[in-house]
Structure 1
Amino acid sequence: MKLYYSPGACSLASHIVAREAGIAIELEKVDMASKRTQGGIDFLTINPKGNVPVLELDDGAWLTEGPAIMQFLADLKPERDLVPLNGTMARYRLQEWLGFINSDLHTSYAPLFNPAMLGLIRSEKREALFKYYAVVERSLTHQPWLLGEQFSVADAYLFTVTNWARHVGMDLSRLPAISAFQQRAAGRPQVRAALLAEGLLRD
């Protein structure tokens, strides 16, 4: 399988999940500005939506959207316990977190990467993000991971999105549980391996 990614983008979460699951994947870097892959392919012919990640399956089919890709990869290796069993309430709790991270946290970051955004609006967007993070903070105050004691695909997604905070001037020190979560996740060997592979860390 091949994962089309952009360093540090939301595709990092799928990359982390693949490594945590022990699934060997080929990485194909995408320049999001030019929409060209490192192999010179027009990325829009692969995903007309223009977004990473895209997972190219062994049969040549493509799967898009991070939450779907992460669950697909994790379901290939159920013994790694990265997702609860389908049909259980725990699985729906996982999907609840994935939906929240995707629709509230992830999308709220996008405007903050726009350099043309006015300072006042930027400040308002940051405060809105802190309100969303307050929900996460309450959960992580009492447990190490979003679903409890077990690292899951939701944690890979939360770590990836929250890693953007320092790039948009958000100080997370007022959120000690989330700050501790980020350090805990970053310390996982497979998370570190993914960061190194994408050029986001140095040995």
Structure 2
Amino acid sequence: MNPLPILYYGVPSGCSFGSIVALEWLGEPYALSRIEMPEVVTSAQFRRINPVGETPALMDEHGAVVTESMAILNHIAARGRERGLGYAQGSRDFDRLNRMLAYLNTSFFNAFAPLWYVLEHEVTDAEREALVNYGRAKVEKVHAELEAMIGEGPWLLGEQRSIADAYFIGIARWTRYHDVVDRSDYPKLQRLYEALEADPAVKFAHAIEDQTPAVSSGGFRGEIALAQTLPRLAQAA
């Protein structure tokens, strides 16, 4: 039996959520490795997988590792062109997809950073107020920008679902922790969010994170502990 690709995903609520969804949409066999944050993700063991100490990371069938969400999602998209997940490099659709991924990976993701800082660090009341106000302004701004960027189609790029939608839902759900924006003020984004939350792959990713019964409609073949994946990395080195 050939080794499976392994996605290292971070909990709680890591942005690696989108890569789980994308792998489900791809439909090819894969395994998952659960990485607790911040304890395990910053450990010496995991830094052998990703020296930066961040998830997601994807080990391929040969033991080579790809890190960073945008790189992993493009890797999955290249394998899923027949399923409409990606496009030929150099095409207009490829450029549109990369533009959307880049926006989500920088502006949309980064807008939540001040709010996460408040949750994860000891701050004074004055610092908390300043950071929350700053975060609220950033999150409102990127929601307005994204609402203006997308058209009337059901997905971020129009009529065709793509890996950008998978990445979007992994970040957009963070509003449940940070009550700073009313998504109903952005009807296109609200429609997209609701459609994705109803998707079997998204429900599966939620169940995986929550450690509740998870039903895969893709190629999920089980979970594997971090330590058990390291020998393959050594062989690939």
- Using structure 1 for the length normalisation, give the TM-score: 0.91
Q: Secondary structure at the match of 1:198?
A: helix
- Unaligned runs of 5+ residues in structure 1 are none
Shift in alpha-carbon separation, 1:41–1:28, aligned structure 2, 3 A: farther
2:175 is equivalent to residue 165 of structure 1: yes
Q: What's 1:88 paired with?
A: 91
Letter in 2 for 1:184: A
Q: What's 1:25 paired with?
A: 30
In structure 2, C-alpha distance between the alignment counterparts of 1:161 and 1:108, rounded to whole Å: 10
- Using structure 2 for the length normalisation, give the TM-score: 0.78
Shift in alpha-carbon separation, 1:25–1:81, aligned structure 2, 3 A: same
Shift in alpha-carbon separation, 1:50–1:36, aligned structure 2, 3 A: closer
**Correspondence 1:143-158 to 2 at 5 A:** 143-158=153-168
- Bigger radius of gyration among the two: 2
In structure 2, C-alpha distance between the alignment counterparts of 1:71 and 1:141, rounded to whole Å: 22
Cα root mean square deviation, aligned: 2.0
Structure of higher RCO (CA pairs closer than 8 Å, 6+ residues apart):
2
Letter in 2 for 1:48: P
In structure 1, C-alpha distance between the alignment counterparts of 2:212 and 2:21, rounded to whole Å: 14
User: How many residues matched?
Assistant: 201
Q: What's 1:75 paired with?
A: 78
2:124 is equivalent to residue 119 of structure 1: no
- Unaligned runs of 5+ residues in structure 2 are 215-237
In structure 2, C-alpha distance between the alignment counterparts of 1:183 and 1:175, rounded to whole Å: 12
Report if the CA contact (8 A) 2:8-2:35 is conserved: yes
Q: What's 1:6 paired with?
A: 10
In structure 2, C-alpha distance between the alignment counterparts of 1:132 and 1:36, rounded to whole Å: 28
